[in-house]
Structure 1
Amino acid sequence: MARGTRSLARVAVVVRAGAAPLWWLGLLAAGIGALLPGLTGRRIGLLSGAALLLIAAAVTASARWGRCTSLMAAADRAGRHDVLQDRRVTLRVRRRARRWVYPSAFLAAVVSSFALPGAGGLLLAGIGAGLWLKAVRIGRREEDTETLYWVSVDEMSSAGAVGKPVTAFRSTGIGAGDAAPGGARRRR
């Protein structure tokens, strides 16, 4: 790449990348866990799992939100030579980086069902729902300001789009890229 050129990924897409795998694996683990009697019984396990789902969704959706809004407020315009990464590429790269995390979390959720049936799976699904809610919040902000927010791929690490290595966001107009505000697929 030439000097001054950087590859940028959409913030909402990076946040949203883990939502679907965690949601579906969590529901599958909860379904498997509901088949097991467990130490506490199915009813207690599923009720505590439902509470964990709500708590995990709320905590995940609000985690690092202050840092995210401060980075959005201080976002600079993307340069002419910056390369905007496609939605599919961002999703593939983010999910491939966590290819061992998802099966490990699924296995831990299924194993935890021997104690609390379904609770671990619902906790995992709650984390996925929280990531989706955070992406929706980012999308609302993008629609209100008519600005899309991007993060440098080089600065992004396992901590995600709002981790400590990220120093700044870049911004573009609402029509840039191939993802709608919030990171969803753009309707044609």
Structure 2
Amino acid sequence: MVRGGGHGLARVAVVVRAGAAPLWWTGVCAAGVGALVPGLTGRRIGGLAGAALFLVALAVVSYARRGRYAALIASAARAAKQDALQDRAVSVRAWRRGHRWWLLVALAAAVASAFAVPVAGGLLLAGCGAGLWLKAAWLGRRELTGGVLLWVRVDWLDARSGRPAGKAVKGYRSTGIAAGDAVPGGARRRTAALV
């Protein structure tokens, strides 16, 4: 809660996008290490399996729970004047802090899997990261179409899962398109240089 009975609000697209870069780079690093190991299946089969896993992960992550997101978007209420909009950097940092151990475990598992199927585990992680980017871009298009930015109450975000469409989330709030420091889709807002 913030003063005056308002709530802290985090951008939905920012929370979705927060995991994209760590998963992508963790996957790329794991795939690079895996390429150095011949593994049980060999690099060629591992690479083909990894490419298939990348595409499957990309599709599953980018399309997962879109119906739930759409329902929450349709019922979004206007944010109150007392609500405090969380900075993009704070939302990203909170997500990454809550998931750092999962990312380390995922990296270790992807590298270990290279001894069986080289590259595949890393490309699976990279596909998950790319899927989150696509989902954030989809949310950005929905925001532009509606002419609003979508926010979720911070206290409804589970610290461990950080899912902005989880069971604890009962609804979204909306603001004008110029609010906050992130553009539709969750990317950093670029400020024009002063002349």
* TM-score normalised by length of structure 2: 0.95
Q: Which runs of 4+ in 1 moved over 2 A?
A: 1-4
Letter in 2 for 1:151: V
**Aligned residue number for residue 160 of structure 1:** 163
Take 1:70 and 1:4, find their aligned partners in 2: how far apart are those partners?
A: 26
Query: Aligned match of 1:185 in 145, 164, 188?
Result: 188
Preserved CA contact (<8 Å) 2:151 2:173: yes
Letter in 2 for 1:27: V
Take 2:157 and 2:128, find their aligned partners in 1: how far apart are those partners?
A: 20
Partner of 2:39, secondary structure, is coil
Structure 1, unaligned runs of 5 or more? none
**Aligned residue number for residue 142 of structure 1:** 143
Take 2:63 and 2:10, find their aligned partners in 1: how far apart are those partners?
A: 21
**Aligned residue number for residue 172 of structure 1:** 175
1:131 aligns with 2:106: no
Letter in 2 for 1:73: A
Partner of 2:57, secondary structure, is helix
Structure 1 residue 4 displacement after superposition: 2.6
**Aligned residue number for residue 41 of structure 2:** 40
Letter in 2 for 1:36: V
**Aligned residue number for residue 108 of structure 1:** 109
**Aligned residue number for residue 86 of structure 1:** 87
Letter in 2 for 1:71: L
Take 2:4 and 2:176, find their aligned partners in 1: how far apart are those partners?
A: 23
Instruction: Give the count of matched residue pairs.
Output: 188
Deviation per CA, 1:13-33, whole angstroms, max 9, x where unpaired?
000000000000101100100
Partner of 1:99, secondary structure, is helix
**Aligned residue number for residue 59 of structure 2:** 58
Q: In angstroms, what is the RMSD of aligned CA positions?
A: 0.8
**Aligned residue number for residue 11 of structure 1:** 12
Structure 2, unaligned runs of 5 or more? none
Take 1:141 and 1:35, find their aligned partners in 2: how far apart are those partners?
A: 42
Preserved CA contact (<8 Å) 2:95 2:162: no
Take 1:65 and 1:34, find their aligned partners in 2: how far apart are those partners?
A: 34
Structure 1 residue 117 displacement after superposition: 0.2
Structure 1 residue 99 displacement after superposition: 1.2
Preserved CA contact (<8 Å) 2:15 2:162: no
Take 1:13 and 1:165, find their aligned partners in 2: how far apart are those partners?
A: 18
* TM-score normalised by length of structure 1: 0.98
Take 2:73 and 2:19, find their aligned partners in 1: how far apart are those partners?
A: 21
**Aligned residue number for residue 100 of structure 2:** 99
